[in-house]
Structure 1
Amino acid sequence: MRPLLIGAVSLISLTWAGTAQAQTPEQDVAPPKVVPTLDTGSAKIAAPSPPPTEAQLPAVEPIIGDEEFEKSIPPIRAEDDAELDRPLESIAEFEKRMAAEAAESAASGAEDAADASAEAQPPQVDGVPVPALADGDAAEAIGDAPISDSELAAPLPPLENFDVEPVQFAEPEDDSDNVELSYAVQVNGLSDADDSTIVDLADLFGDLSALYDGDGKADNAAMIRARLSADGELMQRILASEGYYDAVVDTRIDRGPREEGQERRRRSTTAVIDVKPGKRYTLADIVIDADPTIPPNLIADNFPLSVGEPIVAQRIQGAEAAIALKLPEEGYPFAKVGQRDILLDGATGDGVYTLPVDIGKRSRFGGIETTGDLAFDAEHVEVLARFKRGDLYDSRMVDDLRQALVATGLFATVAAEPQPTGESAGDDTEYVTMLVTQQAGPPRTLAASAGYSTGQGIRLEGSWTHRNLLPPEGALTFRGVLGTQEQGIGATLRRSNAGRRDRTFELVTEVTRSTYDAFNAITGRVAARVSYDSTPIWQKKFTYAYGVELIATREDDYDFATGERSYDFYTILGLTGQVGMDRTDSLLDPTKGFRVTSLIQPEGSLAGSFSPYARLRTDISGYYPVTDSIVLAGRVRVGSIVGAARERLAPSRRFYAGGGGSVRGFGYQELGPKDPNNDPIGGRSVNEVALEARYRFGNFGVVGFVDAGQVYRSSAPTFQNLRFGAGIGARYYTNFGPMRLDVATPIGRKPGEARVSVYVSIGQAF
């Protein structure tokens, strides 16, 4: 068995060290021999051993006789004998004497050199001094020519006059390393394999290959070799990730015969990768080293690996991630997945997989603590949390809390992490404290938006908000509107997560001036509202809202009795109730599902005797994805006012139709009953229908649409005399929703109606 590359590798090295001695008990041990030595003071030198007495040595004749040797030695003089008897001088005296002799020798040599320099004269030829060579000798004359020959004194001829023959090679040098090259890629051993997995890996290799990414072009041969080397390693990693650990990958560059070109001769180049996948290893055993859990099969039931399947890196990593996610969801916040170990048997192709898991202590939610630069305290964090003290720990609830904190918009950074307490919670569990680390962000915000539509003109809106003026989450917003037909200012005090999660309380006061064909008005409004609404971060399946409002408005209306428009003052007190159901996949750009919203507004006029009535409206929209890029969308609206005649209703409280959010192709509020001046006067009921085909490609989209609708005098819509508009739109998709440009025209256009209407806004029409 050998360790797997993606697992823990365990190697055992054995090192033998020491000496061994063996002795046969029966063997006689000779006593040690004594070696004679010569004493030379501090050192002892072994003396040569004499030959054995019984040895027979051959006779050796002397080279010279003793008499001749004595005669050749010179006699020792008396002074020499005295020198021999003199004691040795010390090293210091020897060095001093040698230095004195060297100084005396140097002084004598300098005097001899000065004398020689004064006497020396350089040699001359024809009265001209001859320069000395490096070795001190005079320069020699070349050949038999004298040094004054005019040939030597003449200047050298120009280089252009030299006829230089280039060296002729048997074959021109291959310059393919320095020019742009075209190459082909050839992978052998994958496409002809019986295993379908191997064939699929060829596509994966093609997507990641540096050679294929180069589109067959390289600056030089060195670049091809570098890409080929990288692709060889890539192929090895791809095969290993699918369990082919014995794969052999060889690379080479094949050059074909030379091809004649207009400028130079080149060779075709092919980068070749030869692959031998070898056997594919499979899991022979799976061992999870962990303490018992509750329930007992928690790990086994959520570990998606089985014996007999191939050892695929992606599958193994996914299985380990599944355990790391599942344990914290089931009460184990401190679970840790250790380092895997897979041992391979090259003979059988089996692998034994071992995974250590530390499950930690099973825990329950305890209290909440906060630290850092606080935007609000721990008490308000408890309002946002969807868990209570004593609930079994669930990491999904922690993620939900973290997202809710982010959704407040009050933090630069925020984190929520469990902390052990050691406090027993019974049932072999303990409490954990949720530690929320806050870093408050800038609380003030400036925002602006712009839009345009035919009939309503340009509309600009801006706002300033302090999101946490009254902690926790007490926001104050000042808003201003400047448009062709509407101008206004207002202030809103908004408390988010008021007393419970996702509940909002609002106080609104505003003053607006409206100039429409249907009516002119100056209106003041004060309202209070409690709502449970969707946001781009928190899209809810069910929503609701209720509130109260007081409206004081001065508006003009056409008086059919007098035949002219006149102003009247209305004071209206009303209640609001709204419920909604949302089953779509997106708040701003839905592609599937449906929505239903119903609104009821019982209200009445306070002028004179109280005259109650009720405004009712229902909107339904649906979305169906035909393909990944085509969506069909439809919308229906039905509205009715019961309990009062049209003339007793303030013009701003009646129903109208037409415009970018209603029936496109017509001006704002253009449909319905009209006065003799052909100005709309509104009605007590409305119905609208719209159908869109939305096609998206990348960040852009095209929409074709048909709208229909009508407003009626009666309190119930009759669905007769519908007016139709058709058009085409463009969409640009951003991270906060699509930007919309629609162009529409009325079908069966009547006098006074525009031929083309244009609408620009953010978000889909519905």
Structure 2
Amino acid sequence: MDRNRWSKIERRAFDAFPGGGAETCLPASEGECVAKTARRTIWKVAIAGVVLVPATALGALPSNAAQANGNSGQSSDGKQATADATAVSQADEPIIPENEFDKALPPLSDNINAPLEPMPVPGATSQTTGTTPTGELAPPQQLPDESELAQPLPPIDTFDSTPPPEIAGVTDNSNVEISYDTVVHGLDQVGLEGQFHDLSALEDGGGKAANATMVRARAKEDEELAVRLMKSIGYYDGTATSKIEQVTDQSGKVRAVINADPGKQYTLGSITTKGDPTTPAGLVDKALPLKVGDPIEADRVQGAEANVSLKLPQEGYPFFELGDRDILLDGQSYTGAYTLPYTLGPRSSFGGYRTNGDLAFSAEHVGVLARFDRGELYDVRKVDDLRKALVATGLFSSVSVKPVRTGKKAPDGTEYVDLLVHQNAGPPRTLAAEAGYSTGQGIRLQGSWTHRNLFPPEGALIVKGVAGTLEQGLSTTFRRSNAGRRDRTVTLGISANHNKYDAYEAFTGSLFGRISYDSTPIWQKRFTYGYGFELIGTNEDVYNFDAGERQRKTFGIAALPLTAGFDTSDDLLNPTRGFRIHANVSPEAAVKSGFRPYSRITLEGTGYYPVSDSLVIAGRAKVGTIAGISRNDLPPSRRYYAGGGGSVRGYAYQSLGPQAPDGKPIGGLSFNEFSLEARYRFGNFGIVPFVDAGQSYDTVYPRGSDLRFGAGLGGRFYTNFGPLRVDVATPINRRKGDPTVAVYISIGQAF
């Protein structure tokens, strides 16, 4: 059956080609008959191709069905014979009747010159892109508007056709570098020559170029620069030309000449601001420091507009925005009509707080850091202060604060705005290390591990260790920053230390607590204070004058230290101006064979005077006293000493003052210290000549006599976190046993 179906289709397709089968034609002419025959032939081939695929599929269907029946075991010889006979009978019938085939053909045209109809494609639609259903070409799509191409070219005389000058012995084709000079005329009279030289392409070339064409290109660029500079200060009619000329007396060298003509300077003829009225009235005009008659200078105008953008958010308008300025120039009067539009936004007062992002603490704690209350008139300076306080916590890799409208009215008619704090918490843990060296103390290494937010909000745990030649120790401290109010710090800790100096050896344990208001490197405060407690147990060696030897004794100390400071200096680690005063008063009691109360008092003042930008004179004075107890009843570690890197440089640490018969210092009940430095800085380096003086005494009040002096020279290397200090000093009125030279290395100035 399949073979019969294929035979029928193949015959039809073959008959469709010219000469492949009988075709009847009764045309009016022979050519017309040929055309009609050709069209019928093409359509027959196309339709046969369309029918071919489904016919093949249909021809395979009975065979597959018979195979399926055979597999099921339900066929018989009689039924199979009947099916074969039926299939043969169906194969003899045409797939498409002749009359239906002829109806499917399109009408034939009598015009022999008419174009042929397109052949149908199986599965394609009746219409394709670019043709109509009748086979005619579709009208072309409209091309995009290219009117610019139709514009006439600019006149030839508008182009600079001046050739570069010929240089004796040099051509543009030769690989010979040429040199040139730059001369500028006209800009000096308006004060622009210096700025021109800073930005000039000719100057940037260093007077060298590969050829004269390159010099010409740089000169053209500088023409435009000169015009821009003149316009920036109000010379809007200014022009500039350039020329390249041969230097007659120097072979291979040219001169680039820029001639500028500034013309007349334009001034402000009128000033208008456009926007809603402010409360109080005239805030925008008051904040705009421009007046009629001022030159129209870019820096002046932009600076005035920046001042408006700065002042209005300080007056309760957080959403204030400036529009684009407009300056209409009048070429006859040489004036400009200045118009500045703005969008005012609602007058606002502080509302609440919101926070999002990776949080370090809640919105409630943000309110603790703010220095304003709900209902206060909005002031962007207070918002900046809050942002600085957030940064000072050290808990964020980034943090931002911006106002958000609420639509709620305050009693005074303003609109409440909330502050949205976007937090991006940074790593909470920090490892830090510090190293130093000084004669008499040796090497001192200090390391610490800190988790700044282990107990939120801002509850830090600090573990610190000290390893040095003469000092070893370990401490653990809990610190709560901004505890209940802004800038208040609560500290509670425990420590164990071992110190072995010439004056004493001590094993000390302490429990301490403190509430303070202190400065930090990010937030330096003018007034600071602190108060707290100390419970100290210490075992130390004490020189017993009765026995003539050193003996170990154990002491118990209870103290209530109070501190206060006033600071007007400009920097915490490297001050250059201002002064500082710091006082420490500590009521204490020694528990050793009874209860012995006494007090320790120190007072220190430092001052800084800038002689010039590179030279600062710095001075320091410090005094101290212990009243209410004898020296022998006081642990050596609580007595006063002098000498060393933070005292009188050139002498060993704690070496000045009363001494025991064994030649070792035993400390005193009072002291005084004085220092004077000349800090000269050049770039990131500096040198510091200095002189120190001081002494400790066994009397309650310092006497001022028997002062010891030290002098030396220091070097400084200035970094982002403070200066690295290296001081070399020698004692002036040296005693037997004092070092000839002492060296001190640390971070930060001596005071």
Shorter-normalised TM-score: what interval? 0.7 to 0.9
Partner SS for 2:643: coil
The partner residue of 1:203 within 152, 169, 194 is 194
Name 1:471's counterpart in structure 2.
456
Deviation at 1:173, TM superposition (A): 6.2
Q: How does 1:51-66 map to 2 (within 5 A)?
A: none
2:178–2:252 CA contact under 8 A, matched in 1: no
**Residues 533 and 179 of structure 1: CA distance in aligned 2, closer, same or farther (over 3 Å):** same
1:258–1:267 CA contact under 8 A, matched in 2: no
Deviation at 1:181, TM superposition (A): 2.2
Q: Deviations over 1:42-94 (max 9, x none)?
A: xxxxxxxxxxxxxxxxxxxxxxxxxxxxxxxxxxxxxxxxxxxx979459779
Structure with the higher helix share, 1 or 2: 2
Q: Tell me the TM-score normalized by structure 2.
A: 0.77
Q: How does 1:220-299 map to 2 (within 5 A)?
A: 220-257=211-248, 259=250, 266-299=251-284
2:318–2:378 CA contact under 8 A, matched in 1: yes
Name 2:653's counterpart in structure 1.
668
Equivalent residues, number: 595
Name 1:720's counterpart in structure 2.
705
**Residues in 1 aligned to 2:412 and 2:175: alpha-carbon distance in whole angstroms:** 76
**Residues in 2 aligned to 1:474 and 1:352: alpha-carbon distance in whole angstroms:** 60
Name 1:424's counterpart in structure 2.
409
Q: Does 1:392 align with 2:408?
A: no
Q: Does 1:322 align with 2:307?
A: yes
Partner SS for 2:658: coil
**Residues 290 and 657 of structure 1: CA distance in aligned 2, closer, same or farther (over 3 Å):** same
Q: Deviations over 1:724-757 (max 9, x none)?
A: 0000111111111111010000002121111110
Q: How does 1:183-198 map to 2 (within 5 A)?
A: 183-191=180-188, 193=189, 198=190
Q: Does 1:562 align with 2:547?
A: yes
Q: Deviations over 1:360-414 (max 9, x none)?
A: 1001101111111111001110000111110000101111111111111111221
Q: Does 1:657 align with 2:642?
A: yes
Partner AA of 1:616 in structure 2: I
Partner AA of 2:680 in structure 1: Y
**Residues in 2 aligned to 1:682 and 1:210: alpha-carbon distance in whole angstroms:** 71
Deviation at 1:238, TM superposition (A): 1.1
2:170–2:176 CA contact under 8 A, matched in 1: no
Q: How does 1:669-748 map to 2 (within 5 A)?
A: 669-748=654-733
Deviation at 1:220, TM superposition (A): 4.0
2:695–2:706 CA contact under 8 A, matched in 1: yes
Name 2:203's counterpart in structure 1.
212
**Residues in 2 aligned to 1:604 and 1:707: alpha-carbon distance in whole angstroms:** 33
**Residues in 1 aligned to 2:712 and 2:614: alpha-carbon distance in whole angstroms:** 20
Q: Deviations over 1:477-508 (max 9, x none)?
A: 10000000000111010000001000000011
Gaps of 5+ in 2: 1-27, 39-167
Q: Tell me the TM-score normalized by structure 1.
A: 0.76
**Residues in 1 aligned to 2:464 and 2:170: alpha-carbon distance in whole angstroms:** 79
Deviation at 1:272, TM superposition (A): 1.3
Name 2:601's counterpart in structure 1.
616
Q: Does 1:758 align with 2:743?
A: yes
**Residues in 1 aligned to 2:607 and 2:243: alpha-carbon distance in whole angstroms:** 60
Question: Who wins on radius of gyration, i.e. which is larger?
Answer: 1
1:473–1:496 CA contact under 8 A, matched in 2: yes
**Residues in 1 aligned to 2:37 and 2:650: alpha-carbon distance in whole angstroms:** 120
The partner residue of 2:511 within 526, 532, 551 is 526
Deviation at 1:267, TM superposition (A): 2.4
Partner AA of 2:448 in structure 1: S
Partner SS for 1:239: helix
**Residues in 1 aligned to 2:581 and 2:691: alpha-carbon distance in whole angstroms:** 21
Q: Does 1:180 align with 2:177?
A: yes
Name 1:503's counterpart in structure 2.
488
The partner residue of 1:358 within 328, 337, 343 is 343
Deviation at 1:415, TM superposition (A): 1.1
**Residues 172 and 189 of structure 1: CA distance in aligned 2, closer, same or farther (over 3 Å):** closer
**Residues in 1 aligned to 2:214 and 2:636: alpha-carbon distance in whole angstroms:** 78
**Residues in 1 aligned to 2:493 and 2:222: alpha-carbon distance in whole angstroms:** 66
1:177–1:222 CA contact under 8 A, matched in 2: no
**Residues in 2 aligned to 1:306 and 1:629: alpha-carbon distance in whole angstroms:** 39
Q: How does 1:590-629 map to 2 (within 5 A)?
A: 590-629=575-614
Partner SS for 1:301: helix
- State the percentage of identical aligned residues: 57
Name 1:303's counterpart in structure 2.
288
Partner AA of 1:236 in structure 2: V
2:172–2:211 CA contact under 8 A, matched in 1: no
Deviation at 1:219, TM superposition (A): 4.2
User: Which range is displaced more, 541-550 or 207-216?
Assistant: 207-216
Q: Does 1:373 align with 2:364?
A: no
**Residues in 1 aligned to 2:729 and 2:710: alpha-carbon distance in whole angstroms:** 7
2:172–2:212 CA contact under 8 A, matched in 1: no
Deviation at 1:350, TM superposition (A): 0.8
Q: Does 1:589 align with 2:571?
A: no
2:359–2:424 CA contact under 8 A, matched in 1: yes
Q: Deviations over 1:102-132 (max 9, x none)?
A: xxxxxxxxxxxxxxxxxxxxxxxxxxxxxxx
1:257–1:267 CA contact under 8 A, matched in 2: no
**Residues in 1 aligned to 2:218 and 2:256: alpha-carbon distance in whole angstroms:** 9
Name 2:5's counterpart in structure 1.
none
**Residues in 2 aligned to 1:754 and 1:481: alpha-carbon distance in whole angstroms:** 26
**Residues in 2 aligned to 1:413 and 1:723: alpha-carbon distance in whole angstroms:** 51
Name 1:17's counterpart in structure 2.
none
Q: How does 1:69-84 map to 2 (within 5 A)?
A: none
Partner AA of 1:180 in structure 2: E
Q: Deviations over 1:118-171 (max 9, x none)?
A: xxxxxxxxxxxxxxxxxxxxxxxxxxxxxxxxxxxxxxxxxxxxxxxxxxxxx9
**Residues in 2 aligned to 1:492 and 1:219: alpha-carbon distance in whole angstroms:** 70
Partner AA of 1:174 in structure 2: T
2:507–2:540 CA contact under 8 A, matched in 1: yes
Name 1:45's counterpart in structure 2.
none
**Residues in 1 aligned to 2:217 and 2:556: alpha-carbon distance in whole angstroms:** 83
Gaps of 5+ in 1: 1-85, 97-170, 260-265
The partner residue of 1:541 within 503, 526, 540 is 526
